[in-house]
Chain A
Amino acid sequence: MNYIRITNHQTIPVSDIPELDYNSFFELNTGFIFDHPDRHCVNYFGYHEDNHIKLICCIADDETHEIYVSSCSTAIQTRLQAFTSKLLCFEKFEREIHENFGIDFIDHPWLKPVRYAFNRADKTKTIANYPFFKIEGEELHEVGVGPIHAGVIEPGHFRFICNGEQILHLEIQLGYQHRGIESLFLTKKSMLQRATLAENITGDTVVGHTTAFSYLWESLCGYQASRDVHFSRTLALEMERMAIHTGDLSAVCADIAYQLGSSVYGRLRTPLINFMQEWGGNRLSKGLIRPGRDQFPFTSGLAERLKNIFDAFEPDFNEISDELLKLPSVLSRLERTGVVTPADVQEIGAVGMTARMAGINRDIRTSHPYSLYPELNHEPILKHHGDVYSRVLIRRQEVNQSMAYLRKLMNKLPEQTTTNTELGKPKANSFTLSMIEGWRGEICHCAITNEKGDLVLYKIKDPSFHNWLALALSVRNNEISDFPICNKSFNLSYSGHDL
């Protein structure tokens, strides 16, 4: 076989990944996805190996619950046929490989810089000179926004090409947040440092990224987490989903000037994140998840407390949500605004909520289950219109769904068995892939170790990496004044993308 089938969180020897010549590599991976809507690329990256670049491509299959991994070795100065010439979903992965290693891809639409990484191949390219797409014309004008935005949010530059009030094209330039996290994973040696780095990938998905790192690390060290560890992680993941979705609903309300909704959702988020502080000492769950450990056991007292919080939260949340979704002035702003068609979502390989709002059933919790999700029989919530309304509705229903899961989980608290296990050294010459469904969508971490068991590669992919393009497509032919609600309805991560 010219590829290897692995499951989520599985560690394999690197040598088990078949190495192909580029033509077979190209045919294999584009062939996997072509005409297979249930498959998508979860990670495609390169790294230096001796004097060559090794490319590794990971394709997830939702039907078989497996990931197909294959590799290819190529010289640094080389020109290769772009996967993108056949499938658009590889577009950004190839841009990233081009930026990092200088490999030229033939028939790629435009090999623009992704994040101006400090270790990029071409240092003459600087963030101040990004090559924007331009259209000349007397009726058209450009609007530039950012990197610093009006609100208290992260930096990124948006360049609109407009005809009057109507947006024809939006290009999103990122990279301002680049902190070199992937390199720091290699230079910071202690497990605690790496776990803390994982927490800081993006502060709104602390649990998602730290859980992805923890499962990866445990798998690399050959450790099987006990039930209470799985329990805490599942609980924290769903709590994070509830809290952020509630906060996002507040932000959408603020952008359509529905002040009451904004205030009520904003205040409803507080008891949820304050509970995370009661549990682990931090409102954003930093310090809660660690490999091999359940350092803040979930006691029956905490369970009682959370049940009470839910009992107070639920009626208030449903009251404001019912009101929001029946107000004509609200609906007129949400419905048919910022539409991304299912075909576009499929083509760009969007993941998570962004895929589900257009009817595409893509959810790692069901396709590549982990933690206690197999027991929950999770059914992803799907919407079909791909507009802001669908994204708001998904959030509302996922909050209720997560709450039901949490109540179910808390009916049976696990016995506390973990006694702060010290994990050993990672296995030598190994490859691990770890996927988690964060609240935005699929988070994928990959690691490769050398013969001493030291990390030689740590690759992070936040769902935003796929989904930023969905935002750019959603605003086409919309009024520029609707951009803020389109943006908030996706709420993508800058720091998770820029790393």
Chain B
Amino acid sequence: MFDNLKIVFHQGKQFIPDVATAKVPGIFRGRPIISGVQVNEAELQGLCPANAIATKPVSIDLGKCTFCGECALRFPDKITFTTDYKISTNEREHLIIKEGVEKPVEVNPKTVRREIHRIFGRSLKLRQVSAGGDNSCEWELNAANNVQFDMGRFGIEFVASPRHADGIVITGPITENMAEPLRIAYDAVPDPKIIVLVGTDAISGGLFADSPAIDRGFLDQYPVDLYIPGNPAHPLTIINGLLDLTRKKELIRLIHPV
């Protein structure tokens, strides 16, 4: 008992006070910036392992990017990755970063379904389905719930049963073998419900997009409410994305005015 209390005392406070302004340590490959410098565009495009780079003008699709950073290593004047981890959005085309355009990736409140804020604004329970995920995004989703990131303090939690959930979080490119279980889990979630895609594999299929073992038909049928890119997505990207989608930040500001 006393030993345990001693450990509690030694550990002290661990949580990150403000998840919106916390700094990530060292180098981190977050939102890229593409300069107007002239480079061999064909070479740049050919470099990308995931075909995320388009030319004329140069753009990077964060939904396809594996964040390997090769383009920034080879063309440091053209592409730099910033430490901005707030790259979640509800509109797929916002994930495409264009040359010379330097603005944050954001959730567009005008296009978020109205009921999301009204119904899930205070509490959001999610069922995660790994459909071919490599266990890295699953890792970071779990990390988002640890004592440091502590997503539970905002009323966002993962639940065991889809019946208790307000939506599903999909990781992985959706394998043929998981297509049916995913559909069953989604159908078991009561309406209204949301779909969140976490990680490059889930958003575009990533490197597996053209694999014959993949079946992404599910995503053609249902609307996606939030895209959280990354390989894997950083816990702060996940938390900020979900907070912006449910407009919880407004609520937090109401309770704790700055």
* In-complex Cβ contact of B146 among A193, A270, A282 (8 A): A270
Contact B208 A155 (CB under 8 A): no
| CB–CB B7/A320 < 8 A | yes
Is A155 a contact of B178 with CB atoms below 8 Å? yes
Q: Which residues of A contact B131 (CB under 8 A)?
A: 155, 176
Asked whether B218 is an interface residue with its Cβ less than 8 Å from the other chain, the reply is: no
Cβ A152 vs Cβ B128 within 8 A: yes
Complex alpha-carbon distance, A177 and B134, angstroms: 8
Stretch at the interface among B36-44, B62-70, B109-117: B62-70
**Contact status B29-A282, CB under 8 Å:** yes
Contact segment of B92-100, B168-176, B247-255 = B168-176
Contact assessment for B178 and A153 in the assembled complex, using a CB-CB cutoff below 8 Å: no
Q: CA A202 – CA B137 in complex, angstroms?
A: 11
* B129 at interface, CB cutoff 8 A: yes
A429 within 8 A of B: no
Produce 1/0 per residue, A255-282, CB < 8 A to B. Answer: 0000010011011001000110111111
Q: Please encode chain A, from 286 to 326, with 1 for each CB lying within 8 Å of some chain B CB and 0 for all others.
A: 11000000010000000000000000000010011001000
Of the listed residues B4, B134, B212, B213, the one surrounded by the most CB atoms of chain A closer than 10 A to its CB is B134
Q: Are B130 and A281 in contact (CB under 8 A)?
A: no
A227 at the interface (CB under 8 A from B): no
What is the CA–CA distance of A319 and B142 in the complex, to the nearest angstrom? 24
The answer to whether B213 touches A176 (Cβ under 8 A) is no
State whether A197 touches B130 (Cβ < 8 A): no
B207 at the interface (CB under 8 A from A): yes
Tell me, in angstroms, the Cα distance from A147 to B81 when the chains sit together.
Answer: 37
Residues of B within 8 A of A183 (CB): 211-213
Whether B25 and A179, one on each chain, are in contact in the complex, defined by CB atoms closer than 8 angstroms, is no
Nearest-CB distance from A174 to chain B (Å)?
Answer: 9
A154 and B130: CB pair below 8 A?
yes
A150 on the B face (CB < 8 A): yes
Q: A498 CA to B134 CA in the complex, in Å?
A: 10
Q: Given A204-B135, A204-B136, A270 and B148 touching (CB < 8 A)?
A: yes
Question: Is the CB–CB distance between B25 and A278 below 8 Å?
Answer: yes
Whether A281 contacts B213 in the complex (CB less than 8 A), given A152-B142, A197-B207, A495-B132, comes out as no
Q: Which residues of chain A have C-beta atoms less than 8 A from B29's C-beta?
A: 281-282, 287
Tell whether, in the assembled complex, residue A148 and residue B129 are in contact, meaning their CB atoms are under 8 Å apart: yes
Whether, in the assembled complex, A188 has its beta carbon less than 8 Å from a beta carbon of chain B, the answer is: yes
Which of A188, A203, A323, A495 has its CB near the most chain B CB atoms (within 10 A)?
A203
A-side contacts of B81, CB under 8 Å: 281
Known: A266-B146, A287-B68, A495-B135. A179 touches B208 (CB 8 A): yes
In the complex, per-residue mask of B168-188: 1 if CB is within 8 Å of any chain A CB, else 0? 000011011110110001000
Instruction: Say yes or no: B146 contacts A176, CB within 8 Å.
Output: no
Q: Does B258 contact A (CB under 8 A)?
A: no
> In whole angstroms, how far apart are the Cα atoms of A150 and B27 in the complex?
34
A470 to B188, CA, bound (A): 34
Q: Which residues of A contact B139 (CB under 8 A)?
A: 203-204, 284
Interface: A54 (CB within 8 A): no
Chain B's closest residue to A201 (CB) is B134
Shortest C-beta distance, B241 to chain A (Å), equals 16
Is A266 touching B147 in the complex (CB atoms < 8 A)? Answer: yes
Is B219 an interface residue, CB under 8 A from the partner?
no
In the assembled complex, the Cα of A263 lies from the Cα of B4 at a distance in Å of 12
Q: Is the CB of B133 within 8 A of A118?
A: no
Q: How far is the CA of A229 from the CA of B130 in the complex (A)?
A: 34
- Which residues of A are found within 8 Å of B67, using beta-carbon distances? 281-282, 286-287
Minimal Cβ-Cβ distance residue in A for B215: A118
Contact between chains at B178 and A260 (CB < 8 Å): no
Q: How far is the CA of A281 from the CA of B234 in the complex (A)?
A: 11
Q: Are B130 and A153 in contact (CB under 8 A)?
A: yes
Complexed CA–CA distance, A498 and B133 (Å): 11
The CA-CA distance from A280 to B207 in the complex, in Å, is 21
Instruction: Report B-chain residues with C-beta under 8 Å of the C-beta of A147.
Output: 178, 181
CB neighbours (8 Å) of B66 from chain A are 196, 286
| Chain B nearest Cβ from A439, distance in angstroms | 13
CB under 8 Å from chain B, chain A span 148-179:
148, 150-155, 175-179
Q: Mark A180-200, 1 if CB is under 8 A from B, else 0.
A: 100110011010110111001
Count residues of chain A with CB under 8 A from any CB of chain B.
63
Minimum CB–CB distance from B50 to chain A (whole Å) comes to: 7
How far, in Å, is B212 (CB) from chain A's closest CB? 5
How near does chain A come to B13, taking the closest CB pair, in angstroms? 11
Report the separation of the CA atoms of residues A302 and B11 in the bound assembly, to the nearest whole angstrom: 25
On chain A, the residues within 8 Å of B11 by CB distance are 263-264, 267, 316
B14: Cβ under 8 A from any A Cβ? yes
Q: In the complex, which residue of chain B has the Cβ closest to the Cβ of A177?
A: B132
Interfacial chain B residues near A267, Cβ < 8 Å: 11, 14, 146-148
| Chain B contacts for A279, CB-based, 8 A | 26
Separation in Å of the B87 CB from the closest CB of chain A? 15
Residues of B within 8 A of A176 (CB): 131-132, 175, 177-178, 181
Q: Which residues of B contact A177 (CB under 8 A)?
A: 130, 132-133, 172, 175, 177-178
Choose from A151, A192, A202, A323 the contact partner of B68 (Cβ within 8 Å): A192
Contacts of A127 in B (CB 8 A): 177
* A184 close to B133 (CB less than 8 A): no
Docked-complex contact B10 and A316, CB < 8 angstroms: yes
A148-B8 contact, Cβ under 8 Å, with A179-B213, A206-B136: no
Residue A128 CB within 8 A of the other chain? yes
User: Is A116 an interface residue when CB atoms closer than 8 A count as contact?
Assistant: yes
Cβ of A282: which chain B residues have Cβ within 8 Å of it? 29, 67, 231
Complex Cα distance, B177 from A148, in Å, reads 12
Report the minimal beta-carbon distance from B33 to chain A, rounded to whole angstroms: 15
Complex: A295 Cα to B74 Cα, angstroms: 11
Chain B CB within 8 A of A283 CB: yes
Q: What 9 pairs across the A-B complex have the smallest Cβ distances?
A: A203-B136, A278-B26, A180-B213, A150-B160, A203-B134, A118-B213, A193-B49, A281-B27, A180-B211
A148-B181, A154-B133 known, 14 other contacts, Cβ within 8 Å: A118-B211, A147-B178, A151-B158, A152-B138, A154-B135, A184-B211, A193-B49, A203-B137, A279-B26, A282-B231, A287-B68, A287-B69, A287-B70, A495-B135
Q: A residues near B, CB below 8 A?
A: 116-119, 127-128, 147-148, 150-155, 175-180, 183-184, 187-188, 190, 192-193, 195-197, 200-204, 206, 260, 263-264, 266-267, 270, 274-275, 277-284, 286-287, 295, 316, 319-320, 323, 493-495, 498
Residue pairs across A and B with Cβ atoms less than 8 A apart, 26 shown, are A148-B185, A154-B138, A176-B178, A177-B175, A180-B212, A184-B207, A184-B211, A187-B210, A188-B49, A192-B70, A197-B207, A203-B134, A263-B147, A267-B147, A274-B25, A277-B27, A277-B28, A278-B25, A281-B69, A282-B67, A283-B140, A283-B234, A286-B67, A287-B67, A287-B70, A495-B133
